[in-house]
Amino acid sequence: MIKPDILEKPVNVVYLGIGSNIGNRITYIEKAKSLLLDNNINPIAISSYYETPSWPNPKNPKYTNIVLKVLCVHNPRELLYLCKTIEVKLGRKKSPKNAPRECDIDIIDFKGMILRGELNLPHKMMHKRNFVLFPLFEIEKKWVHPLTKTNIKDLILSLSTNEIRSIKQI
């Protein structure tokens, strides 16, 4: 048996959400996936694409979203920095909260870690977002919310009927 080098960083299982509602949404998501890979963030499961109305203003363009299960050696703050750097590289600019964007990458869950402050883990609103819960359920049916200990099926069932009806797999 080969002993791992003590200087090697541990590999973390992380769930990322990627969304876009400007331009060719799928192209932006695919470019984001490629840039994540270039930064040693390796997908092990990728959901289908899901389309939802823009929130809170449904008059804005629809969103396309996916969730990735990835392996990475970065710590949460390094990963956040890389995600923000990729968003900017893909054209994201400073804009009002919830404004349309080329690319948005959120850390949904970082190996079950609970953090509050500059970085919130798990993602603060993920348990109320159909565009996170449905793709996450697709790739990780036994996922449990680290803070509330609620399983993903129950989180989905707690969504409003309108939220459940407004999402579609594409």
**Whether the predicted pLDDT of 122 surpasses 60:** yes
Q: Which CATH superfamily is domain 12-169 in?
A: 7,8-Dihydro-6-hydroxymethylpterin-pyrophosphokinase HPPK (3.30.70.560)
Task: Convert the pLDDT of each residue in 35-61 to its tens digit.
Answer: 999 999 999 999 999 999 998 888 999
Mean pLDDT of 116-127: 92
Domain spans in the chain, listed from the N-terminal domain onward: 12-169
pLDDT at 5 over 60: no
Look at residue 6 and tell me whether its pLDDT is greater than 60.
no
Give the percent of the chain with pLDDT over 70: 95
Q: 20-34, 54-68, 133-147: lowest mean pLDDT where? A: 54-68
What local confidence, expressed as pLDDT, does residue 57 receive? Answer: 87
User: What is the distance between the alpha carbons of residues 139 and 126, in angstroms, rounded to a whole number?
Assistant: 15
H or E element that contains 44: strand 41-46
User: pLDDT value at position 1?
Assistant: 47
State both tokens at 119: 């970085």
Q: How many CA atoms lie within 13 A of 145 on its CB side?
A: 18
Q: What is the mean pLDDT of residues 1-20?
A: 78
**Taking 80 as the threshold, does the pLDDT of residue 75 lie above it?**
yes
Q: Residue 3 pLDDT > 90, yes or no?
A: no
Amino acid 98: pLDDT: 78
> pTM here?
0.92
Q: What is the pLDDT of residues 77-110, one digit of tens each?
A: 999 999 999 999 999 988 878 788 999 999 999 9
Note the maximum CA span of the chain.
Answer: 59
> Which contacts of 7-12 are long-range, i.e. CB under 8 A and separated by 24 or more positions?
9/73, 9/74, 10/73, 11/71, 11/72, 11/73, 12/71, 12/72, 12/73, 12/74, 12/110, 12/111
How confident is the prediction for the chain on average, in pLDDT?
93
